[in-house]
């Protein structure tokens, strides 16, 4: 088996999940200059809602893929409503407040959501039911499963859809205009509040999809799963250039590959001193390096360019 | 009927009482200017008319209806467009995307197409640069874009805030020729300008603002001849 190729494939799959979550961070940042730290918790809510729906559908005899689609749609709907409410209740009243206030609020919302999830779903790990027959394919000495292929396909579709929406549609043009100059967007007849709400709703829908895919990939869901995941997706967004949509995709994929290669080789590199369970250090090591050497990220606009 | 009426409009801006109760009216088809020194309250007045700043007191009537509490995006739909100070183009949208933003409220594609062609024949330079990001344009080109974009919203009343600011004299001349052309097409204009002479030359009536109050209101011709105005604003 080719270890290097296998690690790269694993990295791409992990990375496309990070990218899907990173898009939610970067869209909200682009339009509000707010790091929505509650976004990781939206992903968690998506995963746990989907798991609950799957548990409810267990006795119905529906085919596995159908169950998965239903669970995903319900998770998306719940997360879209949650995103809408969070924006309306927590962030909109602070629109003109100093920037620290919404940031602290975002951390608060994240804690509230985690605790609500703990009350609803408990502290235990929830297993993803065995509704999908796992197929394993050989690829030039490496292996890839049908679930992994599904993750890559769905994440790619989500990203293409978002790029088309932002660059081609009227709503997308209004989103970009609002991000660049909110007052003037209003002068053009754009209902800025609705555009901002739409941004949260779209980001949350992508987050819900990511949550379902992540729980399918790892086979579990947990009330605290959004925390580390959120931080890593945030790192991916910063790496690519926060506020920049292609940047979030690039940052997510790079982070996934780096993490995967790092986890694969860290034992060899440190003579066995550190094991693969140290894989989380790579994300934060990268975050520190990016913040020191290239705070605008790989594809980020220079800050001075902001009007 | 007057297109726009301000009744003792007051505006606070950053804790300062920038406008302390002004009365003003504009009839359909008129070109009116607001002149005054820096900080006299000109820009704050325009922002309050367009809905970018809340009125701290008084009323704004547009076509006889109070619009004082309407958000900016609903005022545009009534036919009120502001070309803001500093132009406010969207720097990372292309020239054409900026123009299309001006027509955001409409979905009649054929008419939007026609308006777009009209913008390009008004400003051929914009057509040459249609696919370029607006942030890469020169100041004068950005001013053309901001005016053309406002016209895309098919305004009954066009508010222009300091269109000459920061532009080379030749470009100022060109922009003011365009403003005359727009007025000749029957669009009602309210013009705010530091360059009082230019403003009074294109307008029929003028208001002089000082310290947030209207100190003089007269025909532009009389204001050009008024010794007080000449001394304070025309450097003569």
CA distance B174 to B4: 27
For A:154-173, CB contacts with B below 8 A are 170, 173
What confidence score (pLDDT) does residue A302 get? 54
Cα distances (angstroms) measured from residue B77 to each of B62, B119, B136, B157: 12, 19, 29, 11
CA distance A241 to A260: 21
What confidence score (pLDDT) does residue B118 get? 94
Q: Which of A187, A300, A302 to mutate to test the interface with B (most CBs of B within 10 A)?
A: A187
Q: Chunked in runs of 10, what are the mean pLDDT values of chain A (307 residues)? A: 86 95 94 93 98 93 92 98 97 92 95 97 94 88 91 93 93 95 96 96 97 95 94 94 92 94 81 76 88 89 47
Query: What total of structural domains would you count in chain A?
Result: 1
Q: pLDDT digits over B207-236, tens only?
A: 999 999 999 999 999 999 999 999 988 876
For B:129-168, CB contacts with A below 8 A are 135, 149, 153
A50 and A107 Cβ atoms separated by less than 8 Å: no
Q: Which of A184, A176, A204, A186 is nearest to A301 (CA)?
A: A176
The residues with which A221 forms a beta bridge, in sequence order, are A126
Q: pLDDT digits over B41-50, tens only?
A: 999 999 999 9
Q: What percent of chain B has pLDDT over 70?
A: 100
The residue in chain A having the minimum alpha-carbon distance to the alpha carbon of residue B87 is: A184
A260 and A3 Cβ atoms separated by less than 8 Å: no
CATH number at residue A168: 1.10.3470
Mean pLDDT of B176-204: 93
B24 and B6 Cβ atoms separated by less than 8 Å: yes
Tokens of B152: 């895309």
Higher pLDDT, A304 or B128: B128
What confidence score (pLDDT) does residue A304 get? 43
Mean pLDDT of B20-44: 94
The residue in chain B having the minimum alpha-carbon distance to the alpha carbon of residue A191 is: B73
The residues with which A192 forms a beta bridge, in sequence order, are none
B118 and B157 Cβ atoms separated by less than 8 Å: no
> Cα distance from B187 to chain A (closest Cα, Å)?
18
Tokens of B89: 């183009």
Say what the ipTM of the complex is.
0.92
**Sheet architecture: strand order including B2-13:** B16-27, B2-13, B57-62, B65-66
CATH number at residue B165: 3.40.50.300
Helix (H) or strand (E) holding A86: helix A64-86
Which domain range does residue B202 map to? 2-233
φ, ψ of residue A143 to 5 degrees: the values are: -120, 155
Which domain range does residue A34 map to? 3-305
What confidence score (pLDDT) does residue A132 get? 87
The residues with which B12 forms a beta bridge, in sequence order, are B17
What confidence score (pLDDT) does residue A133 get? 87
> Cα distance from A128 to chain B (closest Cα, Å)?
44
Q: Which chain B residues contact residue A183 at CB under 8 A?
A: 52, 72, 84, 88
Helix (H) or strand (E) holding A48: helix A39-56
Tokens of A154: 């769905």
Half-sphere exposure in the Cβ direction for A281 (13 Å, CA): 8
What confidence score (pLDDT) does residue A177 get? 96
For B:61-120, CB contacts with A below 8 A are 71-73, 76-77, 81-82, 84, 88-93, 97, 100-102, 104-105
Tokens of B141: 């080109």
User: Other CB atoms closer than 10 Å to residue B113's CB: what's the count?
Assistant: 11
Long-range contacts of A122-130 (CB under 8 A, 24+ apart): A122/A223, A123/A223, A124/A222, A125/A220, A125/A221, A125/A222, A126/A48, A126/A51, A126/A220, A126/A221, A126/A222, A127/A219, A127/A220, A128/A51, A128/A54, A128/A215, A128/A216, A128/A218, A128/A219, A128/A220, A128/A221, A129/A54, A129/A55, A129/A58
Query: What total of structural domains would you count in chain B?
Result: 1
Tokens of B203: 């307008």
């Amino acid at each position: 088996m080719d270890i290097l190729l296998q690690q790269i494939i694993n990295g791409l799959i992990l990375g496309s999940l990070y990218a899907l979550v990173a898009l939610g961070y970067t869209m909200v940042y682009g339009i509000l200059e707010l790091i929505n730290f509650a976004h990781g918790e939206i992903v968690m809510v998506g995963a746990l809602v989907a798991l609950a729906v799957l548990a409810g559908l267990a006795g119905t005899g529906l085919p596995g893929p159908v169950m998965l689609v239903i669970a995903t749609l319900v998770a998306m709907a719940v997360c879209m409503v949650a995103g809408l409410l969070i924006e309306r209740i927590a962030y909109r009243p602070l629109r003109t407040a100093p920037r620290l206030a919404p940031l602290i609020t975002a951390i608060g919302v994240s804690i509230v959501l985690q605790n609500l999830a703990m009350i609803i779903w408990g502290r235990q790990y929830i297993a993803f039911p065995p509704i999908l027959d796992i197929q394993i394919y050989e690829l030039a000495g490496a292996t890839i499963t049908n679930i992994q292929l599904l993750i890559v396909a769905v994440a790619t579709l989500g990203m293409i859809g978002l790029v088309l929406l932002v660059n081609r549609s009227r709503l997308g043009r209004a989103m970009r205009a609002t991000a660049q100059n909110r007052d003037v967007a209003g002068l053009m007849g754009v209902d800025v509040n609705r555009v901002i709400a739409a941004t949260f709703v779209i980001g949350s829908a992508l987050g819900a999809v990511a949550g379902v895919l992540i729980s399918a990939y790892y086979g579990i869901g947990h009330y605290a799963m959004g925390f580390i995941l959120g931080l890593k997706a945030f790192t991916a967004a910063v790496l690519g250039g926060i506020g920049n949509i292609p940047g979030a995709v690039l940052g997510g994929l790079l982070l996934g590959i780096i993490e995967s290669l790092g986890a694969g080789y860290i034992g060899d590199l440190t003579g066995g001193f550190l094991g693969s369970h140290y894989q989380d250090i790579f994300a934060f090591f990268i975050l520190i390096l990016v913040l020191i050497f290239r705070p605008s990220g790989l594809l980020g606009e220079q800050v001075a360019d902001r009007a | 009927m007057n297109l726009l009426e301000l009744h003792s409009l007051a505006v606070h801006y950053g804790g300062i009482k920038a406008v302390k109760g002004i009365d003003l009216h504009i009839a359909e088809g008129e070109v009116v200017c607001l002149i005054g020194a820096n900080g006299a309250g000109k820009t704050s007045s325009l922002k309050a008319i367009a809905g970018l700043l809340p009125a701290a007191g008084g009323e704004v009537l547009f076509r006889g209806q109070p619009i004082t509490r309407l958000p900016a995006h609903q005022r545009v739909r009534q036919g009120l467009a502001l070309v803001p100070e500093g132009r406010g183009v969207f720097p990372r949208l292309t020239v054409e995307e900026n123009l299309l933003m001006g027509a955001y409220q409409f979905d009649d594609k054929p008419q939007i197409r026609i308006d777009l062609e009209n913008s390009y024949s008004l400003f051929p330079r914009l057509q040459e640069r249609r696919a370029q990001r607006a942030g890469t344009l020169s100041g004068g080109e950005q001013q053309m874009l901001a005016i053309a974009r406002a016209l895309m919203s098919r305004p009954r009343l066009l508010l222009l805030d300091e269109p000459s600011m920061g532009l080379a004299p030749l470009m100022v001349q060109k922009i003011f020729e365009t403003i005359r052309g727009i007025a000749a097409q029957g669009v009602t204009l309210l013009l705010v300008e530091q360059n009082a002479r230019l403003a009074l030359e294109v307008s029929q009536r003028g208001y002089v603002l000082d310290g947030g109050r209207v100190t003089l209101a007269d025909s532009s011709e009389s204001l050009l001849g008024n010794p007080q105005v000449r001394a304070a604003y025309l450097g003569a």
